[in-house]
Structure 1
Amino acid sequence: MIYSLPVRVYYEDTDMAGIVYYANYLRYIERGRSEWVREVGLDQNVMKERDGIVFAVRRVEADYLGSGRLDDQLVVETQVKAVTGVRMVMEQWVKRGEDILFHALVTVVCMTLDGHPTRLPANIRQMVH
């Protein structure tokens, strides 16, 4: 399943050349993952309060392929690529129409509230398979 999130490019997202500042693509894909979590029915507040675990980004592999510009209507697409007992790898794209402007592979893990790694809960592994 690919989850799509529309994103408008605002003035605050751009640099002096009027193109999306490179770090903002990371913000866009974070929003895409956050909305994907909601879409599949996970409640991160419940995970934190009941289970004492939170998601954390472990690794990002990113390719900048094009430039978004002020007022562009972009779409962030998010898809689970792989799930193991301890990590989830998500593939994400930022597109303008059919043009891919940014591509990333993001490795997400779970951590306890005191910062120790822990296994992904079984219900999450089942939910995303």
Structure 2
Amino acid sequence: MTETTGPAISFSWPIRVYWEDTDAGGVVYHAGYLRFLERARSEWLRACGIDQQRLRDDTGIGFVVRDMHIGFVAPARLDDELDVHVAVEQLRAASMKFAQSIHRRDGTLLIQASVRVACVDLANMRPCKIPDDLLARIS
């Protein structure tokens, strides 16, 4: 089994907070941060040259979140400009562990997250090996 551990090239994706992201108190609703983290991972894959729709159509595989640990440090508010960071922390044969964080543009840390995604055969939702060509683009 191939396993790589350690910091990888970091990727960042900008996001602005809109009304739809906030709760009655004007702060980002806690579940909204999951969408921000997901968007950044998807854009990271795209930056690596991986089209998730094509991957699904051509191979029948995809990536699903297996587990996630989130530390909420400070709130984001309406109109805040955020940067969502993604770094591969661990790469295994059938999974990846990401270190992610969300910062306000002024550098304030808002969220720290550890996210493990599994590569699965979408027909039966069983884990499968990440194809070698994807591994080469990711690492």
TM range (shorter): over 0.9
So what's the TM-score if we normalise by structure 1? 0.95
1:124 equivalent among 107, 122, 134: 134
So what's the TM-score if we normalise by structure 2? 0.89
Does the 8 Å CA contact 1:62/1:102 hold for their aligned counterparts? yes
Name the CA distance, whole Å, in 2 between partners of 1:62 and 1:90: 12
- How much has 1:127 moved relative to structure 2? 2.0
What is the RMSD of the two structures over their aligned residues, measured on CA atoms? Answer: 1.0
Q: Does 1:54 align with 2:55?
A: no
How many residues are paired up? 129
- The residue that corresponds to 2:31 in the other structure is 23
Name the CA distance, whole Å, in 2 between partners of 1:98 and 1:5: 14
- The residue that corresponds to 2:116 in the other structure is 107
User: Which residues of structure 1 form unaligned runs of 5+?
Assistant: none
Name the CA distance, whole Å, in 2 between partners of 1:36 and 1:15: 28
What secondary structure sits across from 2:31 in the alignment?
Answer: helix
Name the CA distance, whole Å, in 1 between partners of 2:116 and 2:29: 23
User: Which residues of structure 2 form unaligned runs of 5+?
Assistant: 1-8
Name the CA distance, whole Å, in 1 between partners of 2:121 and 2:95: 14
| Aligned amino acid, residue 127 of structure 1 | R
Does the 8 Å CA contact 1:84/1:125 hold for their aligned counterparts? no
- The residue that corresponds to 1:81 in the other structure is 89
- How much has 1:109 moved relative to structure 2? 0.9
